[in-house]
Amino acid sequence: MVILREQTPSLDTHLWDARVRALYDYWLERCRDGCPPRRSDIDPVDLPHLLRWLWLVDVTRDAPDRPLRFRCRLMGTEHVRTMGHDPTGKWMDEAFPTFLTNPTYSDYVQVAQNAVPSYRAGMPLYHLDKNHVRMERIMLPLLGGGKTIDMMLAITVYLRGIVVSP
């Protein structure tokens, strides 16, 4: 499937955590002709202050009759520390047993199929069971060799000590 975005989405970022907004702005600057950047357009040297919160996910399209699968390519140290384990190299549905049945799975699919960012703030839904933690994250599509999304760049920041009512 060929994916080309007609325009870069416009998101209201004024209330976002500065780290999440910084990655989103960096990604936007690298979008060209209405298309997301490629992985080669992203240079970690440009983002040293964000590295510990960043993560990369590979998008796998094995067969048209199978759902998309996602493999954790890289997980930043703050993310690993907060979760208590490192899912790097693992399939998301294996590292997190409720991943496929969780509403967040559709966020991954939307990013991969529609080449649009996915922003979310609130309690962690599938990867962390701590009611005192609030998270904020954005997942950003990256083009592969053709015109399909084969990777996602993301950042998740955790804010502790905040009680979130259901």
Concatenating the DSSP letter of every residue in 86-101 gives --TTSBHHHHSTTTTT
* Residue 5 pLDDT class (50, 70, 90 cuts): very low
Does the residue 4 lie in any domain? no
Judged by average pLDDT, the poorest of 32-36, 84-88, 130-134 is 130-134
The pTM of the full predicted model, rounded to 2 decimals, is 0.84
Would residue 1 count as lying in a domain? no
- Relative to beta strand 54-60, strand 133-143 is unpaired
- E strand segments, the chain: 54-60, 69-75, 118-122, 133-143, 149-160
* Domain extent at residue 29: 18-160
Determine contact, residues 82/127, Cβ cutoff 8 Å: no
pLDDT of 103 over the 90 cut:
no
How confident is the prediction for the chain on average, in pLDDT? 83
pLDDT at 152: 97
- Provide the CATH number for the domain around residue 118: 3.30.450.20
User: Residues 143, 150: contact at Cβ < 8 Å?
Assistant: yes
Residue 75 near residue 87, CB atoms below 8 Å: yes
Q: What's the CA gap between 73 and 57, in Å, rounded?
A: 5
Do 112 and 3 form a contact (C-beta atoms < 8 A)?
Answer: no
Classify residue 97: in a domain, yes or no: yes
pLDDT at 71: 95
* Number of domains comprising the chain: 1
- What is the per-residue pLDDT for 151? 96
